[in-house]
Amino acid sequence: MKPKQLKAVQLRRLRKIVDYAYRNVAMIKKRFDEAGVKPSSIKTLDDVSKIPFTVKTDLRDNYPLGLLAIPQNRLYELHASSGTTGKPIVVAYTRGDLNCWGRLMGRSFDVAGVRKGDVVQNMYGYGLFTGGLGFHYGAKAVGATVVPTSTGNTKRQLMLMKDLRTTVAACTPSYMVYLCEASRAEGYEPKRDFVLRVGLFGAEPWSEEARKRIEEVFGLRAHDIYGMSELYGPGVGVECDQRNGLHIWGDEFLVETIAPDTGEVLEPGKEGELVFTMLSREAMPLLRYRTRDLSRVFEEECACGRCHPRIQRIKGRSDDMLIVGGVNVFPSQVEHVLMNIQGLGDQYQIIVTRTDLDRLAVKVETTADRLNDPKLVKLINSDLLAVLGINADVELVELGSLPRSEVGKARRVVDLRPKG
């Protein structure tokens, strides 16, 4: 499609979904009425800014199925996101929704070059979490062979990866970084023993340096893939071969960036919170859903020729950002620094404490011979200072001593400050 054609599709679908959501979801009708907005007020794509936001707590407050736009007997599948606090968020799909999700995941696999004949080892968690089944449906949509190993059991993952001649690895980037060292510890020589070709890594922020490391060790091509349970699951966007941002599937999602504090809509290219409007969701249509994810939107055409807008890799969440002594710190920035320094292991931990002042400590693994190397500590400290603008207490620890992320997402931040 040409961008103009895409915009026409978006507008037609936007008007339809707004009308549908208003008529079928009580909370949405109430919000529109309170704001004095009618579905008929949405005449252009820019009018999307008139639509009231939906936020994560709206889903929690309407637990489990208060935001359904359809009778419950039309539900085809239910998932729940782990949810960081309190009740999980339940997400519901009609048959049409599930087909749409599978198609978007299939497209995402296709963009990353996955084809029939590929063997996809799906190391995302199967179950309520949308990762496992989302990647499963995507592999099926392109006709690849799927091996549903799910998370954990690293020895078995590696054995099957070798014996089944896995060509596509799907897992969190932190787990793939973990496999870099785990495969060698288990006696594998990754490039000789495995035939991995493509990696689809997402569900948490990762850095360009992590990508380099993974690609060097396994000799594969790594693609960033983005999504969240509320928006079907993974497959909202993916990097094409250019890898200069993730294409957001524009026929199914309208993406905006807003200023997190004021809600003001930002120009393309400006960093802000991503906000999505789903354009054809039947069971749980979400309009202007605030993700808390920080990124930028690019509308210029991509060299690959696709019309779908792009977002920059996710910098982090506006709510996992650490404020240390008034300075914003993103864990991804620390990772960026550490991965650029020779002689460090892949694992690190960020610890924030407060006595009278906030202190940032960074523990990072290194080999036994460098554990007491003051020059290395000094180098890490000065690089962190340059990037973060604050001093960190750097501690070198033995390889293998920090907690690993064998299941799910890495927990690299330990915030020990008193709450409130």
Q: Which residue ranges make up the site for Zn ion (CB under 5 A)?
A: 240, 242, 302, 304, 306
Least separation in angstroms between CB 204 and Zn ion: 23
Q: Which is nearer to Zn ion, 234 or 245 (CB)?
A: 245
Cβ atoms of 324 and 22 within 8 Å: the answer is no
Q: Which is nearer to Zn ion, 265 or 304 (CB)?
A: 304
Residues written for the chain: 420
Q: Which is nearer to ligand ADP, 203 or 214 (CB)?
A: 203
Distance from C-alpha of 356 to C-alpha of 335, rounded to nearest angstrom = 27
Distance from C-alpha of 216 to C-alpha of 80, rounded to nearest angstrom = 35
Q: Which is nearer to ligand ADP, 247 or 359 (CB)?
A: 247
Least separation in angstroms between CB 228 and ligand ADP: 3
Taking CB under 6 A as the criterion, the residue among 109, 175, 194, 226 binding ligand ADP is 226
x/- string (CB under 6 A) for ligand ADP, residues 306-325? --------x--x--------
Q: Running DSSP on this structure, what letter comes out for residue 188? A: -
x/- string (CB under 6 A) for ligand ADP, residues 152-171? --------------------
Least separation in angstroms between CB 276 and ligand ADP: 10
Least separation in angstroms between CB 238 and ligand ADP: 9
* Binding positions for ligand ADP, 280-299, rule CB under 6 A: 291, 293
CA angle 160, 228, 240 (to 5 degrees): 70
Distance from C-alpha of 389 to C-alpha of 304, rounded to nearest angstrom = 37
Beta-sheet strands, E only, within 249-288: 253-258, 272-278
Residue 391's CB: how many other CB atoms inside 10 A?
Answer: 14
Give the residue ranges of DSSP H helices in 164-203. Answer: 173-185, 190-193
x/- string (CB under 6 A) for ligand ADP, residues 172-211? ------------------------------xxxx------
In the list ligand ADP, Zn ion, none, the entry touching 122 (Cβ below 5 to 8 angstroms by class) is none
The per-type count for the chain, helices as H runs and strands as E runs, is 11, 21
Tell me, rounded to whole angstroms, the distance of Cα 419 from its chain centroid. Answer: 27
Helix or strand or coil: residue 272?
strand
Taking CB under 6 A as the criterion, the residue among 94, 229, 257, 347 binding ligand ADP is 229
273 binding ligand ADP? (CB under 6 A): no
Helix or strand or coil: residue 277?
strand
**Interface ranges with ligand ADP (CB under 6 A):** 81-82, 202-205, 224-229, 291, 293, 314, 317
